[in-house]
Chains A and B, each alone.
Chain A
Amino acid sequence: MKRTRWLKVLALYCASVPLGAQTCPFNLEHIASKAKESVDITLDSNTLKLAGQFLAGEPDARSLLTGVKAICIRNYEFAKEGEYSPDDLQRVRNQLRAPLWSRIVHTQEKNESSEIFARTEGGRITGIAIVAAEPKELHVVYIDGAIDIDKLSGFGQQLGIPPIPGAARKPSK
């Protein structure tokens, strides 16, 4: 009886831990197993703290990381279209539901979609997630913590994507 009670307490504790308290809250096994290639980057708070000590020459990156607790990136590439289903994608969205998460951007253009989710706690954004789906690729980005979106937007410039008017300028050298 005592053991059952402890298990119930443990289960209740686990259930009460908000989504996002782990380094990577997503379970994407159902998609990863179908991918031809996958890339997985997980940076927990210790790694980010260590990185911060070696970012003296990158002040923009350093200031961007203030308040960030974790970053997870999952990129999947599939051999052909249709390898992952709309249900697979919905299972990802189901992990980003109210009350904590809300979808703030959703674009659908032909067979490509982009969604941005924000986690709000106490009136402040404490996490963002981006889910970008294409017929043969799926990309998921999760950032735990408060992040300056304008500055983050500036980091995309290194991938050849033009600046959004009003967004942060390219990081200094």
Chain B
Amino acid sequence: MNLESDLRKAMRRPEPPEGFAERVLARAAALPDTPARPWWRRGRSRLVAVAACAALVVAMAGAGYRQWQGERARRKTLLALAVAGGEWRTAQLRVRHILAARVGERMENR
């Protein structure tokens, strides 16, 4: 066995979770410093188009912001559950370890 060669195989890049790129792009779109939209020239039909676009942008920004909030809540929640679960299991493992040590001691003392 060649350790370095085996490490290269073991450490190949994993695929990110499904939808990762979409989630990143959604968060980026909701960031306050996204690139400004270009200015439109005057003209009634263009003003109407601009107003419609502006309304759409506001609606999308609202939806985008909610998406961002929801994603943020999701991530924090998953992280919190992982940490809480980990602490719970660590406590349980300590109990098992201590009990196993005591059983071992008793058997040695017989």
Asked if A and B touch directly (CB within 8 angstroms), the answer is yes
Instruction: Let me know if A13 is at the binding interface, CB within 8 A.
Output: no
Q: A54-B71, A73-B83 are in contact. Are A43 and B94 (CB under 8 A)?
A: no
Instruction: Let me know if B93 is at the binding interface, CB within 8 A.
Output: yes
Nearest CB of A to B95, in Å:
5
Instruction: Let me know if A105 is at the binding interface, CB within 8 A.
Output: yes
| B interface footprint on A47-67 (CB within 8 Å = 1, 0 otherwise) | 110110111011001001100
Residues of B within 8 A of A164 (CB): 89, 92-93, 96
Q: What residue in chain A is nearest B91 (Cβ atoms)?
A: A114
Instruction: Let me know if A125 is at the binding interface, CB within 8 A.
Output: no
Tell me how many residue pairs across A and B have CB atoms closer than 8 Å: 122
CB-contacts of A96-136 with B (<8 A): 105, 107, 109, 112, 114-116, 130, 132
CB-contacts of A17-67 with B (<8 A): 41, 43, 47-48, 50-51, 53-55, 57-58, 61, 64-65
Q: A51-B70, A158-B82 are in contact. Are A153 and B88 (CB under 8 A)?
A: yes
Q: Find out whether the CB atom of A50 lies under 8 angstroms from the CB atom of B73.
A: yes
Question: Which residues of chain B have a CB within 8 Å of any CB of chain A?
Answer: 17-19, 69-71, 73-74, 76-98
